[in-house]
Amino acid sequence: MSPRRLLPEGARRGWCPSLARPMPTGDGLLARIHPPLGRLTPSQLRAVADGARAHGNGHIDVTARGNLQIRGVSEASAPRLACALAEAGLGDTRDDGGPQRLTLTAPLAGLDPAEQIDVPALARAVEIAGRAVPRLPAKTLVAIDGRGAHGLGAVEADFFLFAEGPGQVAFGLTGESGPLRCGLLPERQAAGALGLALMAFAEIGGRRMRDLDPHQRAVIAAVAGFFPFEPTPLAPAPAPATPGLTALSGETSALLVQAPFGRCTASRLEQMAHLAEGAEVRLSAERGFALVASSRRAAALQAELARAGFIVAPGDPRRRVAACPGAPACRSGTTPVPDHAAQLAQALAPLAGLDVSARITVHVSGCAKGCAHPGPADLTLVGREGAYDVVLAGSPSAEPATRLAFEAALDRIRKAAAAGLPALDPVFQDDVPG
Residues that bind ligand SF4 (CB under 6 A): 8, 11, 25-27, 324-326, 330, 332-333, 365-367, 369-371
Nearer to ligand SF4, 8 or 58 (CB): 8
Q: Are 143 and 66 in contact (CB under 8 A)?
A: no
- Smallest separation, CB 10 to ligand SF4 (Å): 8
Pairing of strands 23-25, 28-33: antiparallel
Pairwise CA distance, residues 362 & 340, whole Å: 11
Rg of the chain over Cα atoms, rounded to whole angstroms, equals: 22
Measured CA distances, 241 to 123, 238, 313, 356 (Å): 20, 9, 11, 16
How far does CA 209 lie from the centroid of its chain?
19
User: Which single residue brings its beta carbon nearest to ligand SF4?
Assistant: 366
Nearer to ligand SF4, 21 or 340 (CB): 340
Q: CA angle, 377 as apex, 375 and 380 as ends, to 5°?
A: 100
- Smallest separation, CB 71 to ligand SF4 (Å): 8
Nearer to ligand SF4, 241 or 371 (CB): 371
- Smallest separation, CB 128 to ligand SF4 (Å): 34
- Smallest separation, CB 334 to ligand SF4 (Å): 8
The residues that bridge with 265 in the sheet, in sequence order, are 59
- Smallest separation, CB 331 to ligand SF4 (Å): 7
Nearer to ligand SF4, 8 or 36 (CB): 8
Nearer to ligand SF4, 243 or 260 (CB): 260
DSSP codes joined into one string, 318-352 = GGGEEE---TTTSTT--S-HHHHHHHHHHHHGGGT
Name the strands in the sheet holding 280-284, side by side, starting at the edge strand that comes first in the sequence. 39-40, 280-284, 288-294, 252-258, 244-247
- Smallest separation, CB 329 to ligand SF4 (Å): 8
- Smallest separation, CB 13 to ligand SF4 (Å): 11
Nearer to ligand SF4, 56 or 333 (CB): 333
Nearer to ligand SF4, 25 or 361 (CB): 25
Pairwise CA distance, residues 169 & 151, whole Å: 15
Q: Are 273 and 135 in contact (CB under 8 A)?
A: no
Residue 149, by phi and psi: left (phi above 0), alpha (psi -120 to 50) or beta? alpha
Q: Which candidate, 377, 365, 374, 356, places its Cα nearest to that of 425?
A: 377
- Smallest separation, CB 371 to ligand SF4 (Å): 3
- Smallest separation, CB 161 to ligand SF4 (Å): 32
> What is the chain's percent helix, strand, coil content, to nearest 5?
30, 25, 45
Measured CA distances, 284 to 11, 68, 315, 345, 433 (Å): 26, 10, 18, 22, 41
Nearer to ligand SF4, 266 or 330 (CB): 330
Nearer to ligand SF4, 10 or 314 (CB): 10
Q: Is 314 exposed, middle or buried (0-12, 13-18, 19+ CB in 10 A)?
A: middle
- Smallest separation, CB 16 to ligand SF4 (Å): 16
Nearer to ligand SF4, 136 or 324 (CB): 324
Q: Which candidate, 117, 112, 115, 126, places its Cα nearest to that of 37?
A: 126
